[in-house]
């Protein structure tokens, strides 16, 4: 569809984009979405324009400091990851879309409807409304804010309903109310948002029938190792579900304060890097792939937007080494995020706390380039990649040593997580960086990058 048609068609039905500044609702701009071309998978056409009142406000901040500067301009895209990624970050993602479809008699509603169904509970501060909202109302009294969010006591019921959906089954009408909590937040795995008794929000991640080990227990163990390495990690706990453990991770973008909840603006590294819609995945290991999908590129973003670049670079580097050590090769750009600095006026960001660190089976290469040997999962590659991320060799050695110290004791964490010996065997087989180290130990000519001190 030509762009002029998009404008003509969607003029009737824009979405109004709001954020929260000092816990007040502020109209940011207008989003037009169109995915009605009839093609499968459905391509997207979207445009966004800041509201004049927002541009005139001294409190305004750009939704994306790199791709969406505060200018009176129509920002357009044909991809969910490009230019307007900041808005798509806050909308339902692959998992949410499959639940919405199940709730919609198996038909995928329009992109606009998907955004509205997110109810403002997606990651970060943004919310999308089909009509203009009264900015004078308290955020807590918005219909979106009062919509049902599952309580801890409902987790097992949600788990059973989502498992039915995951296996292609029909959803009983009685459970519709519960479903809504499970499509607001991003990612591809089954999950839901839950509220604890104090009103704090958590993300519950559920098992899948086909998982060959309990991924929730492994993620919990990985998060606890990261915490002991000294990384910024949200509170996490395991509870027993019907089909395995359920991982609960505290939401880092919301905080209950007095009568209300504060919302922090969030941006994924994918949005900030904004890969070209024409990028062909087969070019992943060619120069354009290296320039776009690499830890070095995320480091460049940190240098541009972080209020504490030296600390964030070290944290990013440690996360990269951890991903090598625990074989989390699913380290794609949506699995790194940034939160706007508490003092929003600076327009600066910090790396968000860590999330989605799961040991992966069957994928030898990382999603992001690590060092001179590309996406190879080895400590040597990570050490050699340090310079490009502005980490000095001594600091890199120190970080690798710290990560190895803790992760070499991973069996203690697995035991605390309740993993079985059979599961641990499967997980151990995934650890290719450690296997490489063992091979090197047998090779008298090789001097390894680092090895555990313990």
Ligand X SMILES: Nc1ncnc2c1ncn2[C@@H]1O[C@H](COP(=O)(O)OP(=O)(O)OP(=O)(O)O)[C@@H](O)[C@H]1O
- The listed partner (Mg ion, ligand X, none) that binds 328, CB under 5 to 8 Å by sort, is none
Supply the minimum distance, in Å, between the C-beta of residue 440 and ligand X. 31
**Which DSSP symbol is given to 3?**
H
Which of residues 82, 112, 297, 334 is near ligand X by CB under 6 A? Answer: 334
- The listed partner (ligand X, Mg ion, none) that binds 368, CB under 5 to 8 Å by sort, is none
CA distances from 77 to 70, 116, 227, 277, 283 (A): 17, 19, 38, 8, 21
Supply the minimum distance, in Å, between the C-beta of residue 18 and ligand X. 19
Give the x/- contact pattern for ligand X in 86-125, rule: CB under 6 A. ---------x---------------------------x--
Which of residues 252, 338, 379, 414 is near ligand X by CB under 6 A? Answer: 252
Supply the minimum distance, in Å, between the C-beta of residue 253 and ligand X. 5
Quick one: 74 or 94, whose CB is closer to Mg ion? 94
Residue 130 in tokens: 């089909």
Quick one: 65 or 186, whose CB is closer to Mg ion? 186
Return the closest-CA partner of residue 6 out of 39, 32, 41, 43: 32
Supply the minimum distance, in Å, between the C-beta of residue 250 and ligand X. 6
CA distances from 249 to 234, 252, 303, 306, 387 (A): 6, 9, 28, 24, 33
Contact residues for 89 (Cβ-Cβ < 8 A; gap 6+): 122, 123, 124, 186, 266, 267, 268, 270, 271, 334, 337
- Side-chain-facing half-sphere of 21: CA atoms under 13 Å: 17
Residue 273, interface with ligand X (CB under 6 A)? no
- Counting residues that bind ligand X (by CB under 6 A) gives 21
Helix, coil or strand: residue 65: coil
Select the span of 65-73, 146-154, 250-258, 359-367 touching ligand X (CB under 6 A): 250-258
Residue 178, interface with ligand X (CB under 6 A)? no
- The listed partner (ligand X, Mg ion, none) that binds 251, CB under 5 to 8 Å by sort, is ligand X
Residue 234, interface with ligand X (CB under 6 A)? yes
DSSP string, 150-195: EEGGGHHHHHHHHHHHHTTPPPPGGGHHHHGGGTSS-SSS-EEEEE
Which residue is at the shortest CB distance from ligand X? 187
DSSP string, 416-442: HHT--HHHHHHHHHH-HHHHHHHHHHT
Return the closest-CA partner of residue 298 out of 416, 213, 390: 390
Helix (H) or strand (E) holding 96: helix 94-103
Which of residues 185, 238, 246, 325 is near ligand X by CB under 6 A? Answer: 185
Quick one: 185 or 272, whose CB is closer to ligand X? 185
Select the span of 10-18, 188-196, 317-325, 379-387 touching ligand X (CB under 6 A): 188-196
Residue 213, interface with ligand X (CB under 6 A)? no
Which residues sit at the interface with Mg ion, rule CB under 5 A?
187, 335, 356
Residue 326 in tokens: 């625990």
Give the x/- contact pattern for ligand X in 407-446, rule: CB under 6 A. ----------------------------------------
By CB under 6 A, the residues from 343 to 382 that bind ligand X are 355-356
Select the span of 180-188, 298-306, 418-426, 445-453 touching ligand X (CB under 6 A): 180-188
Residue 189, interface with ligand X (CB under 6 A)? yes
Query: Does 29 sit behind a cis peptide bond, omega within 30 degrees of 0 on the bond before it?
Result: no
For residue 132, count other CB atoms closer than 10 A to its CB. 12
Which of residues 182, 271, 328, 335 is near ligand X by CB under 6 A? Answer: 335
With beta carbons less than 8 A apart as the criterion, state whether 120 and 145 touch: yes
Q: Say how many Å lie between the first and final Cα of the chain, rounded.
A: 62
Contact residues for 79 (Cβ-Cβ < 8 A; gap 6+): 44, 275, 277
Residue 253, interface with ligand X (CB under 6 A)? yes
As a whole number of angstroms, the distance between CA 156 and CA 178 comes to 11
Supply the minimum distance, in Å, between the C-beta of residue 362 and ligand X. 14
Quick one: 233 or 325, whose CB is closer to ligand X? 233
Residue 374 bridge partners (DSSP): 371
Quick one: 48 or 355, whose CB is closer to ligand X? 355
Binding site for ligand X (CB under 6 A): 95, 123, 185-189, 191, 203, 234, 249-253, 330, 334-335, 337, 355-356
């Amino acid at each position: 569809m030509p762009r002029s048609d998009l404008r003509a068609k969607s003029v009737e039905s824009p979405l109004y984009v709001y954020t929260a500044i000092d816990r007040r609702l502020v109209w940011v701009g207008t989003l037009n979405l169109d995915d009605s071309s009839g093609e499968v998978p459905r391509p997207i056409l979207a445009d966004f324009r800041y509201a004049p009142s927002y541009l005139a406000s001294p409190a305004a901040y750009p939704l994306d400091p790199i791709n969406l500067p505060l200018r009176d301009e129509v920002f357009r895209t044909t991809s969910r990851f490009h230019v307007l990624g900041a808005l798509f970050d806050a909308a339902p993602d692959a998992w949410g879309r499959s639940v919405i479809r199940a709730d919609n008699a198996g038909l995928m509603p329009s992109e606009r409807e998907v955004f509205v169904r997110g109810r403002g509970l997606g990651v970060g501060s943004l919310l999308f409304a089909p009509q203009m909202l009264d900015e004078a109302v308290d955020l807590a009294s918005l219909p979106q804010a009062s919509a049902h969010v599952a309580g801890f006591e409902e987790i097992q019921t949600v788990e059973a309903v989502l498992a039915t959906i995951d296996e292609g089954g029909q959803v009983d009408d009685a459970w519709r109310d519960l479903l809504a909590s499970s499509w607001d937040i991003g990612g591809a795995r089954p999950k839901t948002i839950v509220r604890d008794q104090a009103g704090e929000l958590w993300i519950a991640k559920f098992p899948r029938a086909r998982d060959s080990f309990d991924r929730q227990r492994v993620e919990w163990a990985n998060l606890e190792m990261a915490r002991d390495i000294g990384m910024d990690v949200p509170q996490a706990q395991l509870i027993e579900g019907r089909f395995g453990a359920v991982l609960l991770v505290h939401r880092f973008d919301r905080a209950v304060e007095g009568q209300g909840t504060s919302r922090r603006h969030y941006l994924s590294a994918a949005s900030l890097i904004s890969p070209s819609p024409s990028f062909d995945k087969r070019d992943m290991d060619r120069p354009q792939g290296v320039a776009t999908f690499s830890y070095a590129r995320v480091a460049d973003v940190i240098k541009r937007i972080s209020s504490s670049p030296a600390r964030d670079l070290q944290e990013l580097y440690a996360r990269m080494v951890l991903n090598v050590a625990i074989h989390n090769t699913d380290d794609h750009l949506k699995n790194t995020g940034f939160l706007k600095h508490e003092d929003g006026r600076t327009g600066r960001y910090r790396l968000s706390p860590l999330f989605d660190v799961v040991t992966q089976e069957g994928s030898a290469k990382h999603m992001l380039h690590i060092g001179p040997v590309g996406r190879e999962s080895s400590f040597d590659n990570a050490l050699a990649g340090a310079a490009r991320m502005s980490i000095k060799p001594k600091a890199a050695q120190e970080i690798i040593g710290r990560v190895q110290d803790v992760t070499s004791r991973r069996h203690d964490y697995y035991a605390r997580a309740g993993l079985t010996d059979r599961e641990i065997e499967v997980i151990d087989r995934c650890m290719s960086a450690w296997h490489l180290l063992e091979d090197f130990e047998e090779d008298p000519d090789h001097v390894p990058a680092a090895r555990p001190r313990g």
